[in-house]
Structure 1
C-alpha cells in the first residue's frame, strides 16, 4: 500500500495540512491488522506523540516511541502493532526533494559539510530529539485543528525551525549527510533500490515510484544493469531467499511467503515446482534428510 496516497486521500482519518505541496499528517493510527506492508515514494519525518509502533525492513526492526525521531527514506517496510498494544498518535511530515533543496539552500551557511559520515544504507534512520526539536514539532500541532489560524508563511517558519534544529544537532549528522546528497541531485542507483526492496510484494510501477523514475526509464536502467527483465530478476531473487529460509529456519511456509514478497502460498508453490519439481514443504523435508536436489 502506498502510505502517502492513503494519507492524502483520507483526510477524515488522517488530519492533514498542506504547505507548498508538502503533506503533513497528525493522527491516531487506525491499524487493525497485526502487521501491514507499506511503501512511500517520498521521504518522511515521523514523530511519535504517544504509544508506539514497530517498523521492520528486512531483518531489522525499530520501535517508534517518543524518545526518538525517525526518517523514513523512499522504500517499503512493514508496520507492526507491538505485543503490548497501545494506541499510536503520530505526526508525519512528507518532504519532497525540491522543497528539501530549497530549505537546505536557505540555511546552507549554517551547516558544515566537513566530516559528514558515510551514508547509512538503511531505509529507516532514527535521529536524536532534544527539547528544542520537541518544542518545535509540538508547536505545529495546534494548527491541525485550526488550519487557518496563521498565514502559511508563519506556519512555514515553524516547520523550517524544526528542520533546522534537527539538522544542526551534532548527533544528527547522518540525516544531514542524507539531505546533502539529495541537494547534490544524487540519483539512487537502480540496484540499490532493488536489493533493499525485492522481498516486498510491489508492482514494477511501485519500484519505479520509489526509485523516482518513470516506468520506461526504470525498465531501461534496470535491464542495462541486470541484463534481464525486472519480473524475471524479482522471481529469481525471491526464490533464492525462500530457498535459503526453507533450509535454515523453522518459519512456516506462510511466513516465508510473506517474508520473500510472493503474493500468496500458492504463488510461491507454483514457482517452486517450476524450479525444483517439488513443493516448498517437500523441498524442506528432502533437505532435512540430506537428499541432494538438482
Structure 2
C-alpha cells in the first residue's frame, strides 16, 4: 500500500508543500491516474476540499469529500476513489500524534467541553467550517501562491489558530472527544490499530508505524495481547471478513480479495479453501442454496 504522507514527503515535486517542524502542508491540484487505490498514513490529517471530490471507503462505510468540506482523518488505511476525468484541489495537513498531544494539552485550558472517556468516534470526523476556518484556508492558499515562503513561526501560529477555532466550535464535539482521548493515554492502542486496519494489505512495518512502535516492540506486544503471531492473526481475521462479504454482499471475488487485504486472488483462494474446505465461489453458491432452502421452509 502507498503511504501517502511518505509519498509526498519523499517526492516533493508531486504537489506544492510547506513544512513546519513535523507538520506537512500539501496543496493538491491534480488528476488521479487510477480510479481506485489503497492508501494509508501513519499521521492523522486535516483536509479541506477546495474543488472536485473523492470517496474514502473503509470497512463497509463511505465518506464523500466535496467542495467546502473539512474533515479530520485518523491515521490508518482507506480505499480512495476519485473520478479520473475530474480535477481535485485540496489542502491537507499531516500532523504526528506527539505534536497533537502537546498542542491539545496547551489549549485545553482555553475550551471547556465535557467528553465521555473511551467514547467512540468515527475514523473520519466531519468538521464544521466557520469564518475563522475559511480565513485560514485562504491564508494558506496565499502562502502557496507567494514567491516568498512564510517562516516556520508564522506557519505554526496560523495552524495553532486553526486548531483553536476548531476546538472551540461546539459543532466539532467529536473532534474534541478524540483529541482529548489522545492526550489521556500514553500509547496508541495496538488492539485498536489492528482491529481497525486488518482488512488492508499493510506490512508488519506499516502496522508498527501506525501504532508508533518499533517492529520488535510491535511483535513483542502483539504476542502478549493476541497470544499468536501477527501473520496468523491477520490471515484469520481477513478470512473471516471475506467470508462475511461472500455471505452478505454481491461483490465479485476480485473485489472481496481487494477489500479484505489479500495480496492476490490465488493466495486468497488457497487460504480460504484450507480453512473452510471449499473454494470461495462454491462457498457463496452453497450459502445461497442454504438460505433459499431455509426461506422455503
User: Judging changes above 3 Å, is the alpha-carbon distance between structure 1 residues 29 and 149 closer, same or farther for their aligned structure 2 residues?
Assistant: closer
Would you say the 8 A contact 2:200–2:260 is kept in 1?
yes
* Aligned-partner Cα distance in 2 for 1:225–1:150: 46
Deviation at 1:104, TM superposition (A): 2.7
Would you say the 8 A contact 1:54–1:82 is kept in 2?
no
1:137 aligns with 2:137: yes
Deviation at 1:118, TM superposition (A): 5.6
Would you say the 8 A contact 1:137–1:159 is kept in 2?
no
In the alignment, which residue of structure 1 is the partner of 2:177?
Answer: 177
* Aligned-partner Cα distance in 1 for 2:264–2:59: 18
What pairs with 1:197-276 in structure 2 (closer than 5 Å)?
Answer: 197-276=197-276
Deviation at 1:175, TM superposition (A): 1.0
Report which stretch shifted further, 55-64 or 187-196.
187-196
Deviation at 1:115, TM superposition (A): 4.3
* Aligned-partner Cα distance in 1 for 2:94–2:112: 25
In structure 1, the gaps of 5 or more residues are: none
User: Judging changes above 3 Å, is the alpha-carbon distance between structure 1 residues 147 and 175 closer, same or farther for their aligned structure 2 residues?
Assistant: farther
Cα deviation 1:179-220 (Å, max 9, x = unaligned)? 222233442322211111111111111111111111111112
User: Judging changes above 3 Å, is the alpha-carbon distance between structure 1 residues 56 and 187 closer, same or farther for their aligned structure 2 residues?
Assistant: same
User: Judging changes above 3 Å, is the alpha-carbon distance between structure 1 residues 101 and 59 closer, same or farther for their aligned structure 2 residues?
Assistant: same
In the alignment, which residue of structure 2 is the partner of 1:36?
Answer: 37
In structure 2, the gaps of 5 or more residues are: 292-297
User: Judging changes above 3 Å, is the alpha-carbon distance between structure 1 residues 272 and 104 closer, same or farther for their aligned structure 2 residues?
Assistant: closer
1:162 aligns with 2:162: yes
In the alignment of these two chains, the number of paired residues is: 290
Q: Which has the higher helix share?
A: 2
Deviation at 1:13, TM superposition (A): 1.6
Report which stretch shifted further, 282-291 or 198-207.
282-291
**Which SS does the other structure have where 1:99 is aligned?**
helix
TM-score (norm 2): 0.90
Deviation at 1:38, TM superposition (A): 0.6
Deviation at 1:147, TM superposition (A): 6.3
What pairs with 1:29-178 in structure 2 (closer than 5 Å)?
Answer: 29-82=30-83, 86-115=86-115, 119-146=119-146, 148-178=148-178
